[in-house]
A and B are shown apart, each in its own frame.
Chain A
Amino acid sequence: MTSTELNTSSESVVFSVADKGEMPGNYAARKRKNQIMEGILFLAILMALIPLALILFEVIRRGASAMNFEFLTSVQNISLIREGGGYLNGLFGTLYMVGIASLIAVPLGVATATYVVEYSNSKLVPFIQFFTDVMTGVPSIFVGLFVYTILVQGDSIFGGFSTLAGGLGLSLIMIPIIARASEEVIRLVPDDLRNAAYGLGARRWQVVMQIVLPTAASGLITASMLAVARAAGETAVLLLTALGAFKIVPELLGSPQAALPLIIFNEARGPFEPAHARAWAGALELMLLVLLLTLIARYIGRKTQV
């Protein structure tokens, strides 16, 4: 109950006489309705949070029991039946490919969003918005197939499953997410700041690069992290581009690459208990990785603000 509410019981004590006129107020009834609605909203939140909490709880419970120093520091056990080994090759591959994907997707996504907002009178903008929307909705297996067809199947030096193919596939997932989220962030930069900059005799690119983007920096980092989290957990794309590997693969080209979600997928779908335990630990590792990256990004984001 907020302090602005005068009516604390079902019948107003203070104003009971005045309220009986032609403006009865219906305070009690309205208050009841208000409380019911609040209750419904609360229930809805609860129901949305339950599966989330269960996932989290289960991943931590099962993952933590299988997580140990060996798991974090050794590469994959080739045998699904035997205990031991870890996902270090997958962690390495995931960081490697998400890194490449970010290098491609963050500049392109932010640039797209910048164009859409700052050059909004361009006739291209509705098309760009339409295609980024469509790209956001493209099933990731299609993206995998696309990269598979034009890159992996080819005879060029880019042919075959590789780190680069995986990174490119992930970047295609990330670009529309970053573009869409960044667009909202850049729109939030007040026009007052743009006007002030123009009023001082700034060119548009100076306004964009030195005022708009720095002002939006922390939001842009958050937008990028959204996409990084999505890419780090992406599996379908990598099945057709990176394939998977049992060792640490530093090569950019010519050799298949491992990834955490790929290993989790491979070990979880079989009937073998030691593999299942590792898959849970891998899921926990992936979750912690995204959490850590998000925290780092938040920290950097806060540092960029004056």
Chain B
Amino acid sequence: MTINHNGSAAGLAVEAKNMNVYYGSFRAVKDISLKIERNSITALIGPSGCGKSTVLRSFNRMNDLVPSARVEGEILFQGNNIYAENVDPVEVRRRIGMVFQKPNPFPKSIYENVAWGARINGFKGNMDELVEQSLHHAALWDEVKDKLDQSGLSLSGGQQQRLCIARTIAVKPEIILMDEPASALDPIATLRIEDLIRELKKEYTILIVTHNMQQAARASDYTAFFNMDSDRAGYLVEFSETDEIFTNPKHELTEQYITGRFG
């Protein structure tokens, strides 16, 4: 089925409602409710193992690929629950794209890396144009325009990650999920990715998992702070505007975490 564009809550890109994720019998995250605004950048922060990546991967059903994983509750994307029975996870992933922690370009040419996703999704337009446009948006075009036929793996780590972003943009998603996209990069490449993320929010809604407090504070509009309770299930402690979280956190745990006293 096609997810319809009507009936979506005004200004909301995606919303998690009482979401629980299990790996087998282990509950990894519990009772997550989160409203993500359109064209915003939301940072998911929290100590290691608190389930923020699990939450992120639930937003485009990547957890379906883990055999033991199971999601309860709802994630509403344009008014429809993406976990409803008649929803095709492949369509969800096309419309809610993902950038991973480690740059993972395909062992194909730079051009083919960008074109592949569009092609398998039946893109009918001008492929050359799409590739150029996507690479422009990912702030990579000027660096690679003369070597589009070279392997994507020949690029530097930061360039590879921007190539992965270009590849994601090329299938025209509405939301982009980023799982610590800069954690494998050097500080300069990290800043370039952050600039790029801010640029991208004009057209996309972005959710980003990060371990880097400065990154969350610098790059995001909203911040969701997760923690792990005594049975190791992750839960949402506080969700608010980033300024609010970093200057005036409501919860003591949040304050302790952002000031580096645990995690």
Contact = CB atoms under 8 A, between A and B. Distances in A.
* Chain A complexes with chain B: yes
Contacts of B168: 199-200
A305 to B, nearest CB: 7
B100 A195 contact: yes
A203 B94 CA distance: 11
B106 A198 contact: no
Nearest to A207: B120
Contacts of A305: 107
Given A190-B104, A306-B107, A200 B167 contact: yes
Interface stretch (B11-19, B59-67, B72-80, B221-229): B59-67
B109 A198 contact: no
A215 B117 CA distance: 16
Interface string B84-109: 00000011011101101010111111
B120 A202 contact: yes
Interface of A: 121, 190, 192-203, 206, 210-211, 214-215, 305-306
Given A206-B120, A210-B120, A199 B106 contact: no
B171 interface: yes
Interface of B: 60, 62, 65, 67, 90-91, 93-95, 97-98, 100, 102, 104-109, 116-117, 120-121, 151-153, 164, 167-168, 171
Contacts of B106: 193, 196-197, 211, 215
28 contacts: A190-B104, A193-B106, A195-B62, A195-B65, A195-B98, A196-B100, A196-B104, A196-B167, A197-B106, A198-B62, A198-B65, A198-B93, A199-B60, A199-B62, A199-B168, A200-B116, A200-B120, A200-B167, A200-B168, A201-B91, A201-B120, A202-B117, A211-B106, A214-B107, A215-B106, A215-B107, A306-B108, A306-B109
Contacts of A195: 62, 65, 98, 100, 104
Contacts of A192: 100, 102, 104
B53 to A, nearest CB: 12
Nearest to A215: B107
Contacts of B93: 198-201
A202 B62 contact: no
Given A192-B102, A193-B106, A306-B109, A200 B117 contact: yes
A186 to B, nearest CB: 14
A192 B65 CA distance: 12
Given A199-B60, A201-B121, A306 B97 contact: no
Contacts of B109: 306
A121 B65 CA distance: 11
Nearest to A202: B120
A200 B151 contact: no
Contact of B100 (A199, A206, A211, A214): A199
B220 to A, nearest CB: 21
Closest 7 CB pairs of A and B: A201-B94, A200-B117, A192-B104, A199-B98, A306-B151, A201-B93, A196-B104
Contacts of A203: 90, 120
A190 B153 CA distance: 14
Contacts of B97: 199-200
A184 B57 CA distance: 28
Nearest to A121: B67
A203 B120 CA distance: 9
